Structure 1
């Protein structure tokens, strides 16, 4: 695709400026002088890392495509195994060549069928990886170690320097990628990925450090990285598929089965501890009018916006938001007290009322929601009884004017 047709030009001015600026900075830093010379040894290391990276990508190509398709959070690939080894062994110019080669191969072989990975995104991501690599190299240089060979000769000081470089790579990469997104998530998971994905990144950085040490001492051992790397790749895929099976594809919330499974676990734990939890049943008012007036695509956009509003309005980690189909949502609030659950429900109601959802050249406003509340154990001692109680309160809210919160205890 010609550059003038890149998806980048359809992003907001902030994203365009940031992506172009990061790419320019990456090029400028690549051309700066380096204490590590470009010679036959570093060129041979570049070739080895590039070949190994391509081989690993080819062996895990199908897994990588599936991971891209099912991932609903920021995607973390396996290239750090090779790029972080390059941080510890290569000068900036060859490190940039390594990143460019690995990402070009991923784009052509693994991501070419996925419309979510346009060329401009690949270029931007590669530039951010290059900058992350340079930040990690700077930490290594400031510590007094030009490469891993020198670090290995200084025992614990070298260990701490390599560890600091890895932490820097991880943190800088996580932060630099945020401004490149058109829509920045509101939850830690949406911002930085799941614990599983970040654990994968940490594991690949560790393998990258071991790769570099093997290449610096016993190069033949570098092949030993493949068995654990491929197993790790497939293990993460299995976990992502398990998560995807319990998620609503349209909104990213728990689907009915996923939410029920979590609610049953919460109920069992709460019963053992003698605690309490709350349950909210929500239904968008007059949602059919949105679909009839603006179309089903606009209706989908409203559902996504409502889902994000609910997530932003609940208390945070531990609260579980699900979609039960159509325009009906349910919220699980572990350990909440009777007065606090009403405050959370009102916060959700106000957040949805304030929504302005773009629909073509128009903006959908005036959305409202009716909410029913039930609390364990007073409203029921099983998940189904609590859902029935919350649904009764929701029906009462609908029947008495909509756009309100009704507690099932108030109906007794």
Structure 2
């Protein structure tokens, strides 16, 4: 494909400039002089890490493709098992060959059929990983794991610091490369499971390096647990996907109901409260009729993001009940505090501008009904009925407003 047709140029000026800068920085740092000599042993280590990385990738190729398809956000792959071992054992030029080989193989064998992973994205990801590797090596100050082995606890802390540096630098460098940067901690840095997986792969990478430095044959022992971990992560992603709405990424009806039932049981045991918000976009049919259903889907996604940004934090759960109706679960909240949250959501939706081609859809509004446990009901269905009653009253009395069922009583 000619350079002028590369997908990179469609990412926007900010992303294009950032990707080119990170790639240039990765090339520049790769070419700098290295204190670690390139000898037969380091070349053999490079070959072992590259071969094992390719074997693991080939063995888990089907799993990786499915993970890419079901994941709505960037996800953690398994390359840190090999690249972090390279950080602890290889000089920068060979480390660059390792990263290039692993990501090139992933692009050709695992990602080539997936339109969401263009070649420019693979190159950018590889450059960011390489910069993270170099940052981790800077913490080691030219030493490797063989040197760390002779230093006792200081060497152990140095390796741990290198792993932490890799983790943090990679998380920060990825953010500007995204076309759309999330507004919640989970959207910015991933879930606890995502970060836990990255930590696990870094730990396995350190053990890989230790095995190669002392008893090289033991490095083969990492493959069975790594393949099992890869498959376990896929199962978890499929479970999450089964409870998510495809258009918005929010909980679907069954997923939200399951979470709400657990919250209800906990509130009953602990004698606490929680709140429900029922939201319905006003005149949404006009959006579909005027701009088309694809534009309507874009509006639903933008509304979902606005609701997530307006709720209080990680404990709150937002779901889509179908059509233009949304529901929000607010654990540990009572009557005086739930109204401001609902108003914040209503105002956020009212100020939305959703780009559709050359146009922007504005003037959106929503009606919201509020119910609080246990005052409005002691079962989930009663609470939903109460919130729906308040929502209907908001619709019937002018729309674009918040109504608490307790005020109706």
Q: TM-score, normalised by structure 1?
A: 0.98
**1:218-257, aligned counterparts within 5 Å?**
218-257=215-254
The equivalent residue for 2:210 is 213
Quick check: 1:74 aligned with 2:104?
no
Distance 2:74 2:111 in 1: 15
The equivalent residue for 2:62 is 62
| DSSP 3-state at the match of 1:374 | strand
Distance 1:147 1:224 in 2: 22
C-alpha contact 1:73 1:194 (8 A) present in aligned 2: no
Distance 1:405 1:190 in 2: 28
C-alpha contact 1:84 1:209 (8 A) present in aligned 2: yes
* Alignment deviations for residues 140-181 of structure 1 (CA, whole Å, 9 cap, x no partner): 11xxx6111111111101100000000000000000000000
The counterpart of 1:384, out of the listed 363, 368, 381, is: 381
Distance 2:118 2:381 in 1: 45
| DSSP 3-state at the match of 1:332 | strand
Aligned Cα RMSD in Å?
0.8
C-alpha contact 1:74 1:190 (8 A) present in aligned 2: no
| DSSP 3-state at the match of 1:189 | helix
Distance 1:262 1:8 in 2: 40
Distance 1:199 1:107 in 2: 24
1:12 Cα deviation (Å)?
Answer: 1.3
Distance 2:102 2:253 in 1: 40
Quick check: 1:90 aligned with 2:90?
yes
**1:190-209, aligned counterparts within 5 Å?**
190-209=187-206
C-alpha contact 1:86 1:212 (8 A) present in aligned 2: yes
Q: How many residues align?
A: 409
**1:55-204, aligned counterparts within 5 Å?**
55-141=55-141, 146-204=143-201
Distance 1:248 1:200 in 2: 24
Distance 1:363 1:147 in 2: 55
1:197 Cα deviation (Å)?
Answer: 1.5
Structure 1: stretches of 5+ with no match in the other structure: none
The equivalent residue for 1:27 is 27
| DSSP 3-state at the match of 1:392 | helix
* Alignment deviations for residues 249-284 of structure 1 (CA, whole Å, 9 cap, x no partner): 110000000000000000000000111110000000
Distance 2:221 2:99 in 1: 22
| DSSP 3-state at the match of 1:298 | helix
**Range 227-236 or range 322-331, more displaced:** 227-236
The equivalent residue for 1:330 is 327
1:73 Cα deviation (Å)?
Answer: 2.7
Quick check: 1:311 aligned with 2:308?
yes
1:72 Cα deviation (Å)?
Answer: 2.2
C-alpha contact 1:73 1:189 (8 A) present in aligned 2: no
Quick check: 1:288 aligned with 2:288?
no
Distance 1:384 1:195 in 2: 31
| DSSP 3-state at the match of 2:103 | helix
**Range 374-383 or range 70-79, more displaced:** 70-79
| DSSP 3-state at the match of 1:329 | strand
1:3 Cα deviation (Å)?
Answer: 2.7
The equivalent residue for 2:38 is 38
| DSSP 3-state at the match of 2:114 | coil
